[in-house]
Chains A and B, each alone.
Chain A
Amino acid sequence: MSNPSSKPPNAEMRAAVEEALKELEKLISDPASIGACPELPGIVLDRIVGRALDRTSEEYEQTTKAYGKMRGEYLKAFALHPVGRSLSLLAVGADGVRLMESGHSPSSVMNVTKPTNQPVRLKRQYYNCHHIIPKSVAVIGGRAAINHPRNFVLVNTTRRGRDQSQNPHHFWHALFLHPQTHRTLDQSNPIYIPRPVFPLYPPITQGFRSVEGLRKHLSALGATPLPEIWERRILEFSKAMGHKPYLVPKQFHEITQGFGELFKKENRDPEANQAVRDKLAAKAEGLAAEWLPGDACINGKTLGPSHQPKHRLPIVESGLTTEPANQISENKKRQEKRVRPRAPTQKPQPSQSIKV
C-alpha cells in the first residue's frame, strides 16, 4: 500500500506524532466517559485560557503559512506510526491511508452516481485536517503549540447539499467555537474547546460489538493490533452510537437551515432582517449555553456563576496551550504532488469493504 515515490516524513515530525498520541492516551482515564453525551460521543471540553487574535495580525498570518507547509509531513508521519496507521485504517480505510502516505488529505470512494443521460460522478467521503485550538486563538505556547500534531485532528467534512450530518467540524464551530471567540478581541478568557479523544473523527465507519470483532476487522485491513487503551475507546464509541455510524444530530442542523429564512423576500428590509438575525443569534447562544459551564464567555458575556449547563461533557485541561516537547521547524517544504494510484492486483476480502 505504501507510496514508493513519496519521501518519508522527517524525524522531528515523527517524534511529534508520537508525543501527540501519548498525550491523547492520557487525556481521559475512564473510557466510559466517551458516551457521556450521545450527541457528542468521544468529545471532551478542553479548558484553555486564550485570546482571540485579530485575524489580520502578523501572528495569525504566520501561523497559517507555517501550517500550510507542515500539514503534508504530518499526514505522512501519522500514517507511518503503528497506532496512527491502525486508527487511520479504521476511520478512512486503505484508500484514505494511501493518500495520507503521500501527504494528502484522506478520502475514500464510496460509489459512483450514474443518473440517466448524465456523466458518471464519484461519491466520496472526505476527512480534512483541522486545528483543535483554532489558529485564531493566541495561547501561551504561541505558534509552536498551535501548529503541532497535539493540536491537529482529521475530521470528516463530507458535505452533501444541505445535509451537514457528516460535517462534525462545522457543528463544533457553530456550537462552541464561534460563540466563544466572537466579540472577545483583546480579552483573555476561558475558552472551552471541543476536543476529540481520537486523532480521527469519527474514528470508525461501522460498529464493533466486541474486541474480537474489532481485532478481526483490523487484521483484514492488514493493520497491526491496537493497544488496549484504543480498543476500549473504539468499543465505547461504537456503543455510544448504538453500533451505527456517527451523524451530527438533526436538531443542530436548524441553525444553518434557519438562516435561509433571512433572505426570504419578506425579510429583506433592514429592520425585518435584523430581527430575524437577532432571533437566530439568540438561538445559537442558547444552544451553546446548554453545554458550557458558568465561566464560559458567549458573545462577549460571561454566563455567570449560577449557570448550570443542561448537558455535561467531560472537562479536561490538556495543556495544549504550552509549548510541546518536540517542536516542528517551520522551514520545511510544502506537500508533494500526488501521483496517480495504481490499481491493486489483489482483490480484497469482503470484510475490507467500508460501510457508512
Chain B
Amino acid sequence: MDLNEQLLRELSDLFLGDLRSSRYYQGLSADERANLEKQLARDAANGVRPLVPGASSDQIANLCAQAEAELGVTLPSSVLGVLTVVDGFVENGVSLYGADRDLNEEETVPGLVAQNLALWSSFPESAQKYLFVGDSELWFFAYEISSSSFVALSHSAMSPVHRFSGIEALVNDMLAQALGHFDEHSEDTKGTLQSQPPKLPGTDFSLN
C-alpha cells in the first residue's frame, strides 16, 4: 500500500486555503504576500506539496541520530520513508509527528523524539515498547517494537485496539480522520484487536 497522494494533496489545498483566509495573511503587505506566494509556487515547482512537505535527507539523518541517542531506538526504515514524503501534520486534533528540529529552528509540528520522551514519561509502561508516531484526541498511533507492526492504542490504556498492515495504511487512516473522510462500514470495527486489517473500502480504522 502507498500513501494516499489524493489525501495529501487535499490536506495541502486545505492548508493553503487556511493560510490565505487567515488574519495573518490578510495583515501582510502586498509585497510580503507576493513574496510568500512566490515561495509557495517555487515549492510546488520543485515537486513539494505546498505547506505539507517531506523531510530533507539532512533532517532524516539528524532524527535518526537523536532517536538513537535519546530514545535508544533505531527508527524503522518504513517510518523514515514516510517522513520523507510527509514530515508530520496537525489537523482537526490528529497529529503525525515529524522530524525534530534543532534548538535554533522553529517547530511547526510535534517532533517524534520530543513526543516519545513526553509520552514515555506519562506512561512508563510504554517506554521502549512503543515508538509513538502520532496521536488524535482518541488514539495513539505507534510502532510496536516487539512485533515490528503498526498499531492504534486506546488513549490511556496503552493497549492495541487495531493493527495496521503498515505505516502507509496508518498514515492514510490518520489523513482520513483529519480531513473528515469516513465510510459507514468502518463503524463495524469492534475495537477488538484484529490480526489482519479488515477489507473495507476507504479507511480501515477511523473510529474517530
A and B from one assembly?
A: yes
Interface residue ranges, A against B (CB under 8 Å): 55-56, 60-61, 64-65, 67-68, 71, 93-95, 98-99, 103-105, 107-115, 118-124, 126, 128-130, 134-136, 159-164, 170, 173-174, 178, 255-260, 262-263, 268, 277, 280-281, 334-338, 340-344, 347-348, 350, 352-354
Please state if A337 and B114 are interface contacts (CB–CB under 8 Å).
Answer: no
Please state if A344 and B21 are interface contacts (CB–CB under 8 Å).
Answer: yes
Nearest residue in A to B35 (C-beta to C-beta)? Answer: A114
CB distance from A43 to the nearest CB of B (A): 19
Partner of B207 from A65, A162, A178, A341 at Cβ < 8 Å: A65
Partner of B23 from A93, A107, A134 at Cβ < 8 Å: A93
Contact flags (1/0) for B38-58 with A, using CB distance below 8 Å? 011001001010110100100
Partner of B24 from A103, A109, A344 at Cβ < 8 Å: A109
Nearest residue in B to A277 (C-beta to C-beta)? Answer: B124
B34 interface residue (CB < 8 Å to A)? no
Which of A61, A122, A256, A259 has the most chain B CB atoms closer than 10 A to its own CB? A122
CB distance from A207 to the nearest CB of B (A): 19
Bound-state Cα–Cα, A71 to B177, Å: 13
Please state if B14 and A338 are interface contacts (CB–CB under 8 Å).
Answer: yes
Please state if A256 and B118 are interface contacts (CB–CB under 8 Å).
Answer: yes
Which of B74-82, B98-106, B140-148, B163-171 is the interface stretch?
Answer: B98-106
Number of A-B contacts (CB under 8 A): 185
A108-B22, A255-B121 provided; 10 other pairs, C-beta below 8 A?
A60-B157, A61-B154, A61-B161, A107-B91, A120-B50, A136-B156, A136-B157, A161-B111, A174-B122, A343-B25
B19 interface residue (CB < 8 Å to A)? yes
Please state if A129 and B137 are interface contacts (CB–CB under 8 Å).
Answer: yes
CB distance from A101 to the nearest CB of B (A): 13
* B residues near A163, Cβ cutoff 8 Å: 107
* B residues near A120, Cβ cutoff 8 Å: 36, 39-40, 43, 50-51
Q: List 11 A-B contacts (CB under 8 A).
A: A99-B92, A104-B180, A109-B18, A111-B24, A112-B24, A113-B106, A122-B18, A124-B90, A135-B155, A259-B117, A343-B17
Interface residue ranges, B against A (CB under 8 Å): 13-27, 36, 39-40, 43, 46, 48, 50-51, 53, 56, 70-72, 90-93, 95, 100-101, 105-108, 110-111, 114-115, 117-118, 120-122, 124, 127-128, 137-138, 154-157, 159, 161, 179-182, 191, 207-208
Bound-state Cα–Cα, A108 to B17, Å: 12
CB distance from A127 to the nearest CB of B (A): 9
Partner of A95 from B13, B23, B115, B182 at Cβ < 8 Å: B23
Nearest residue in B to A177 (C-beta to C-beta)? Answer: B156
Bound-state Cα–Cα, A29 to B27, Å: 40
Given A55-B157, A263-B72: A337 touches B181 (CB 8 Å cut-off): yes
* A residues near B124, Cβ cutoff 8 Å: 277, 281
Bound-state Cα–Cα, A159 to B137, Å: 14
Please state if A114 and B39 are interface contacts (CB–CB under 8 Å).
Answer: yes
Given A122-B15, A277-B124, A352-B23: A337 touches B106 (CB 8 Å cut-off): no
Nearest residue in A to B107 (C-beta to C-beta)? Answer: A160
CB distance from B56 to the nearest CB of A (A): 7
Partner of B17 from A113, A259, A341 at Cβ < 8 Å: A341
* A residues near B181, Cβ cutoff 8 Å: 337
Nearest residue in A to B89 (C-beta to C-beta)? Answer: A122
CB distance from A119 to the nearest CB of B (A): 4
* A residues near B24, Cβ cutoff 8 Å: 109-112, 353-354
Please state if A122 and B118 are interface contacts (CB–CB under 8 Å).
Answer: no
CB distance from B137 to the nearest CB of A (A): 5
Bound-state Cα–Cα, A113 to B19, Å: 12
Bound-state Cα–Cα, A113 to B104, Å: 13
Please state if B110 and A353 are interface contacts (CB–CB under 8 Å).
Answer: no
Please state if A334 and B182 are interface contacts (CB–CB under 8 Å).
Answer: yes
Given A113-B106, A123-B106: A353 touches B27 (CB 8 Å cut-off): yes
Given A105-B92, A124-B90: A347 touches B117 (CB 8 Å cut-off): no
Bound-state Cα–Cα, A112 to B207, Å: 32
Please state if B137 and A170 are interface contacts (CB–CB under 8 Å).
Answer: no
Please state if A119 and B156 are interface contacts (CB–CB under 8 Å).
Answer: no
